[in-house]
Structure 1
Amino acid sequence: MRIAVSTETNAGLDAPVAGHFGRCPFFTLIDLETEQIQAVQVVANPFFPNHEPGQVPGFIHAQSAHVMLTGGMGGRAVAFFEQYGIRPVTGASGTVRQALECFQRGELGGYAPCSESVAHGHGHDHEHHEGR
């Protein structure tokens, strides 16, 4: 299983989880096999700091991720991820390693669209484009 985590830096497992996946500068990709880390790769977000709806979920899909762990994301992004068959998981915090451990223990698993995303939506002059 490949898990993508939105991150603020390129420090791999020690990077802080980004509060919002679409505005993060990096993604840490973790390959797991029977709950054990097999590989860790950091990739730059090609759409940082501005993106159009669907671009970042499409990029994560192209990275062959099965799960997207992040602090938060908007409702439209959730829908894009679900269309790609990628499981969106919000509420992650701390380092990538800490968020991954929480996910593996079942403490993270669902999602809730960011209230900021719902409030701003599209059509406003705002760099966040994943809201409803």
Structure 2
Amino acid sequence: MKIRVAVASESEGGLLDRVSKVFGRANTFTLIDLEDGEVTEVKVIKNPGAEYKFGSGPIAVKTLVDNDVKIVMAAKFGPNTSFLLEQKGLKKFQVDEGISVEKAIENYLRKKKRSF
């Protein structure tokens, strides 16, 4: 089964980029398709919410919903964003700020394996 994960990324996105410290104002989102525990596709999209002074979280959430994301990773999620993610059926996975996107995905897959 394919699942799409979005990692809030600091700069240009991609597996080698770093995880952004905040979800709503991340510069980009690295979208990663996972199937049977393997990365099958990586795509980067700009976060239209990054440039807003207020309300960046809801804009980011809508962007990810529109891109069929099911799991979201970031170092920090605000309370309103957390509520909205839950309301839209997206799961949060909190990761350490500044680690690589690739490491965040590895940590997620390792944790998921242990839960079975």
TM-score by length of 1: 0.76
SS of residue in 2 equivalent to 1:21:
coil
Over the matched positions of the two proteins, sequence identity in percent amounts to 27
Corresponding residue of 2:39: 37
SS of residue in 2 equivalent to 1:80:
helix
Deviations 1:49-73 (A, max 9, x none): 3241522111111111010000101
SS of residue in 2 equivalent to 1:31:
strand
User: In proportion to residue count, which structure has more strand?
Assistant: 2
Are 1:71 and 2:86 an aligned pair? no
- The answer on whether the counterparts of 2:48 and 2:59 sit within 8 Å (CA) in structure 1 is no
Are 1:86 and 2:84 an aligned pair? no
Q: C-alpha distance in 2, partners of 1:34/1:92?
A: 24
TM-score by length of 2: 0.86
Structure 2 unaligned residues grouped into runs of 5+: none
Deviations 1:85-127 (A, max 9, x none): 10012233400000111111118xxxxxxxxxxxxxxxxxxxx
Corresponding residue of 1:13: 15
2:101 pairs with 82, 96, 116, which one?
96
Q: C-alpha distance in 2, partners of 1:92/1:105?
A: 15
Displaced runs of 4 or more, over 6 A: none
Q: Work out the number of aligned pairs and report it.
A: 107
Change in Cα spacing, 1:61 to 1:37, as seen in structure 2 (3 Å) is same
Q: Using CA pairs under 8 Å that are at least 6 residues apart, name the structure with larger relative contact order, 1 or 2.
A: 2
Deviations 1:3-59 (A, max 9, x none): 000001224100000010111110000001001111000001112132415221111
Structure 1 unaligned residues grouped into runs of 5+: 108-132
Q: C-alpha distance in 2, partners of 1:92/1:99?
A: 8
SS of residue in 2 equivalent to 1:88:
strand
